Structure 1
Amino acid sequence: MTTYRVIVIDDEEVTASAHAQFIRERPDFEVAGTAYNAQGAIAAIKASFARKTPVDLLLLDINLPDRSGHEVAKFLRAEGLPVDVIMVTADRDASSLRTASLHGAFGYLVKPFTLEHLGRKLDSYSAHRGRVPDTGELDQAAIDSFFHRSEDETRDLPKGLSQETLVNIVETLSDHDSAYSAREIADRMTLSRVTARRYLEYLHASRRVERRPRHGTPGRPELEYAWRG
């Protein structure tokens, strides 16, 4: 079994310790270190490569005391280091999500989240890495599988919907216990409300989400969508 090395980076030591302990209990992951600020994170990353035991994944808090976690991700890209990132933050701002995506983040976990949600994200990462070997040549099917772009995945999507956006919406819904309206998804994904509703209705039609009226709001009841889990 392949083991992926993780550095846990969070400004709250208790949180970092809890996440590190959870990761240690998984057979396919090991903790390569912890850090509580950007300077410590960059030092730990550099040290892992200097020791010839490079880290594979960062569990990276965006809100660090000295520099933003986005700056750490930017450092990775500038140095050409092959390290994946799962961003962790309490920030629900769409611009932060877009910045994380531009820096190549594999995933985005919004605090507070449960260890179950973290586990699902790690499962997803392990499956993603397992799709492609570390060496050798690949055919188009293997490349498409790695980038979540197989023909089977895209063939049944209604015209105008993209697999990339669908994957992002699915990750948002599946990583949280909350239900979301089309308006809330539109705000998170920088989509129009009509477009967000089309994605949510597609997921509802394929029985991947539940749809129900949201009560307690003034005016016409708003529909909300929750992951079936």
Structure 2
Amino acid sequence: MNDIRVLIVEDDPMVLEVNKSFLLKTKGFSLVGEAQSGEHAYHAIKDKKPDLILLDMYLPDISGLELFYKIRNDRLPVDIIMITAARDAKTVQELTRLGAFDYLVKPFRFERFQQALENYARSRKKLTNKTELKQNDIDEYYRNTFEQQKELPKGLNEITMKQITDKLKEINQPVTAEQLAQNTGMARVTVRKYLDYLASISEVKIDLKYGTVGRPTKYYSL
């Protein structure tokens, strides 16, 4: 699968470099351009046709909100994640209404940046893998888009979750909770708890394999 093409719109050179370094550390994404003004960004979008824009609110010529309106009015086929210091409720609400996929408030850690991009990649995949969607497909897309941005349930943490999902990606084939526990060095009951949560939000698939006797064995895969 081709990398998701990203344009970064940021007028602060230091912040721009940080965002670029974060992007380069995130698998499945490639930088196709950068812009430090709204006008430059608009022309870069039309010229380079990125899949995703990381957009700052405060630009030297027009605001990120004005650029967002222009992109939507001209129906340019691009998705947008806001990365900005603007945190007033009115602005966040307006950008949510316009369809911002996510909203990162500066300063933020790499883990939050990575989470936003990985959530976007998963949601994008749900829409682009099929030419026609059923109601269940659409329901799953919206459910996961919002559920992935919520805090994890009590008793689960992001670090352990990432270790488990990273190992599933690395193995890249169905495994049992016991096999995954051996690969991660974690307790089987802990791994099963995370896998069952991921299955409940449709982030992993469960396949049942029946033996000659007893209960079927659960195999988990992304």
* TM-score, structure 1 as length reference: 0.62
Deviation at 1:6, TM superposition (A): 0.5
Cα shift readout 1:117-174 (whole Å, capped 9, x = no counterpart):
111111111111111225511111111112227xxxxxxxxxxxxxx9xx48x73x75
What is the distance in 1 between the residues matched to 2:105 and 2:51? 21
User: Quick one: distance in 1 between partners of 2:37 and 2:109?
Assistant: 22
**In 2, Cα distance between the equivalents of 1:134 and 1:76?**
25
Give the counterpart of 1:78 among 68, 73, 76.
73
Name the CA distance, whole Å, in 1 between partners of 2:116 and 2:27.
15
Answering whether residue 102 of structure 2 is matched by residue 107 of structure 1, we say yes
1:57 corresponds in structure 2 to 52
SS at 1:91 equivalent: coil
CA offset at residue 34 of structure 1? 0.5
8 Å Cα contact 1:60-1:88 kept in structure 2:
yes
Structure with greater Cα Rg: 2
Matched residue SS, 2:116: helix
Alignment partners' CA distance in 2, 1:97 and 1:35: 22
Deviation at 1:39, TM superposition (A): 1.1
| 2:40 maps to 1:40 | yes
The Cα shift of 1:209 comes to 8.5
- In 2, the alpha carbon distance for the partners of 1:64 and 1:208 equals 41
Unaligned runs of 5+ in 1: 49-53, 150-163, 175-202, 211-229
User: Alpha carbons of 1:134 and 1:38: their partners in 2 closer, same or farther (altered >3 Å)?
Assistant: farther
SS at match of 1:88: strand
Q: Does 1:207 align with 2:154?
A: yes
Give runs of aligned pairs for residues 152-191 of structure 1, distance below 5 A: 167=146, 171=149, 174=151
Aligned to 2:116: 121
C-alpha distance 35-121 of structure 1, shift in aligned 2 (>3 A): same
Distance 1:45 1:130 in 2: 21
- 1:20 aligned counterpart, secondary structure: helix
Number of equivalenced pairs: 157
Whole-angstrom distance in 2 between the partners of 1:74 and 1:208: 41
Greater than 4 Å deviation, 4+ residue runs: none
> Within 1, Cα distance between the matches of 2:25 and 2:105?
22
Cα distance, 1:100 vs. partner? Answer: 0.7
The CA distance in 2 between the partners of 1:108 and 1:69, in whole Å, is 12
Alignment root-mean-square deviation, CA: 2.3
- Aligned counterpart, 2:179: none
Structure 2 stretches of 5 or more lacking a match?
158-222
Note if 1:148 corresponds to 2:143.
yes
Structure 2 distance, partners of 1:123, 1:13, is 25
User: What SS is found at the alignment partner of 1:132?
Assistant: helix
Is 1:139 the counterpart of 2:134? The answer is yes
- Identify the residue that residue 2 of structure 1 maps to in structure 2: 2
Give the TM-score of the pair, scaled to structure 2: 0.64
Following superposition, the deviation at residue 21 of structure 1 comes to 2.6
Rounded to whole Å, the distance in 2 between the matches of 1:79 and 1:14 is 31
Q: Quote the residue 2:25 is aligned against.
A: 25
Contact 1:20-1:34 within 8 A present in 2 as well: no
Tell me the SS of whatever aligns to 1:30.
strand
